[in-house]
Amino acid sequence: MLRSFIRRLSSFTYLNVTQFTGALNDNIFKLLIVYLFIDIEGVDQKYNILATTGALFVLPFLLFSTPSGTLADRFSKRNIIVGTKVLELMIMILGAFAFYYKSKLGSYGILFLMATQSAIFGPSKYGILPEIVSTDKITKANGLLSSFTFLAIILGTFFASVLPDLVGRNFTLGAVFCVGVSIIGLIASFCIEYTPPSESTKSFKIGIFREISDTLKVAKQHPSLIVTIFGSAFFLFLGAYVQLNLIPFAVEFMHLSDNQGGYLFLLMAIGIAAGSIFAGKVSGPKVELGLVPIAGLAVSICCYFLDFFSSHFYVIPFLVILLGFFGGVYQIPLDSYIQVTSPNQYRGQIVATTNFMSFLGVLIASGLMFLVNEISGLKADKGFVIVGNITLLVSLVIGFQFFDYLSRFIGMVLSRLHFNLTLIGKKNIPETPAVYVCAHTAWNDTLLILGAQRRRMRFFIEQEQVHSKWMIKLYRLLRVVMVPTIEPLEDSPVCLNVIRKTLLKGISVCIFVSNEDICEEIERLKHAFAFQQILKENQYPLIPVSIEKGEKVKEVKSKFLARMLEKFRVPARISFGSKINDPRIVDDSIAMESAV
């Protein structure tokens, strides 16, 4: 009876409640310590208190992230989550005693312990996602997890501000509230389904940097993973700097108090939560890395606008929300890719290494803040310009590394805008790399193929005429390779080598042919021995594709916006045939049926 009642909700829901209560307690308790010591030592010491609490909170993530990753790989992540929640409850109870005796050393010690259990919790929290959520829902799950995290930050900041006044500055009662929150998180953690260990035999190492170096070497073996780790770490650097810079910016240019300026961070947190959900919606069942460089560029533009509109009071809150929104869009695909791509036995270590790099970014952000404001004497608005420049540079690097993802995403957007697309045989599109054969009619066929499936793609087109310079540049942008004909493909070792390397990188290949008879082209490929060997290496499926285009609709009886879109969009239908793993055994009738 109890088990059936518990299973009404998914393990992911219980995980979300567990991490929500933990993030809520982190923010409430940290701010309660700040308010307690401001009461004891005076408001003049607030910057020293903030600096000390900030450093103590970050330090455990640097010290214990990598051992926590090894822990997550060797033992059940669900059991580790439960253990950290038990530890959190004990720490919160001790925190209530520290507040009761107004012990500075005790309170700082409790803050360090609380951050330590959060550091242990992190790799298991993110590492367990692929074990309790299907791959096609990872991005959406990350979006929900991040949005609830930032909701916890918003509520934590709110409760920490109002609790002291509600309880008459009795901080012990505030700590008791944290104990209650911990109990809720502990109960939720028990409801998460058991997950077995990842069968890792990796031993614990004392050397943090050696451990991180070894993990990064593992990450380099997987496409784009190393770039994703550094890109994800950059997000926390960016968020930390913006958070530190918002308060002086609000005081200097909006003429607000310190407390009032803190509400700008709440607006940014709302934006990040909205952006996280949006990224999950846009990505759908696949990780959409093409969003990352676009969102990074938008973040840098928002930073520039904060400088340009620094004297416009009512524009700034809108820009702060936008900054947070694009930050959320930037982060979610990166976190999702790390979870999906990381090898199961190393997932905890890779997540832990990402956490270490992220919190190292927080320290670097503090150093940059000191350099910009104290050493250089620049104002807060120029700080946004500097971090905007850094973000622009990082976005360009990521855009270069993720160019295939970026071009595929842009191609998908353009195809959905220009074509009213109908897909037939969507179930025939494989999760793995494949070779598609399609009759080529126009350059925008590439957009249609990019928009119809979610894998990176290289196009090989039979060059039957001389193209203009701009068309050649466009083809290069769309990752198009010109080949003389399809029939003598085995006589072109350069072209075959490109196809082989492309497939090994996890990128699909589309061969565009001038002949509209796909059956005839399949027959030709049967006799291309070298091409057959490439397909057999990893059982790459051969898939015939048919593209049909209609004419623009002249008159549509619908709403104004839909009517305008329909007049612009061209009807198009793409049919994906059944997978052909060995074209030698496929006859013409099957090929014809697949193409249609």
b/e sequence 528-539, b meaning 16+ C-beta within 10 Å: bebbbebbeeee
* 363 occurs within a structural domain: yes
The last residue of one of the domains, among 167, 196, 225, is 196
Residues 315 and 452 in one domain: no
Q: What is the dihedral of CA 586, 588, 590, 596, to 10 degrees?
A: 140
Residues 217 and 362 in one domain: yes
* 584 occurs within a structural domain: no
* 592 occurs within a structural domain: no
Residue-wise pLDDT for 289-305, tens only, equals: 889 999 999 999 999 99
The last residue of one of the domains, among 178, 196, 214, is 196
Amino acid at site 509: V
Q: The domain that contains 347 carries what CATH number?
A: 1.20.1250.20
Residues 253 and 402 in one domain: yes
Would you tell me how many other CB atoms lie within 10 Å of the CB of residue 311? 10
* 1 occurs within a structural domain: no
Write the DSSP string, 64-132: HHHHHHHHHHHS-HHHHHHHHHHHHHHHHHHHHHHHHTT-HHHHHHHHHHHHHHHHHHHHHHHHTHHHH
First to last CA, the chain: 52
Residues 107 and 87 in one domain: yes
* 356 occurs within a structural domain: yes
pLDDT at 8: 73
The last residue of one of the domains, among 368, 387, 410, is 410
Residues 213 and 189 in one domain: no
Report whether 146 contacts 328 (CB < 8 A).
yes
Residues of the chain with pLDDT under 50: 486-487, 582-596
pLDDT at 47: 61
Residues 51 and 142 in one domain: yes
* 333 occurs within a structural domain: yes
* 455 occurs within a structural domain: yes
Q: What is the dihedral of CA 386, 228, 217, 57, to 10 degrees?
A: 60
Residue-wise pLDDT for 455-511, tens only, equals: 888 888 766 555 666 666 666 666 676 665 544 555 667 778 888 888 888 888 888
Residues 349 and 439 in one domain: no
* 415 occurs within a structural domain: no
pLDDT at 297: 95
141 contact partners, CB below 8 Å, separation of at least 6: 12, 129, 133, 280
Q: Which of 541, 522, 512 is nearest to 593 (CA)?
A: 522
pLDDT at 184: 93
Containing domain of residue 63, as a range? 7-196
Residues 294 and 162 in one domain: no
Residues 429 and 524 in one domain: yes
- Tokens of residue 358, six digits: 């992220």
Residues 31 and 123 in one domain: yes
Cα–chain center distance at 439: 36
Cα–Cα dist 29/157, whole Å? 10
Q: Which of 22, 135, 30 is nearest to 80 (CA)?
A: 22
pLDDT at 592: 36
Residues 381 and 443 in one domain: no
Residues 179 and 251 in one domain: no
pLDDT at 589: 37
Domain count within the chain: 3
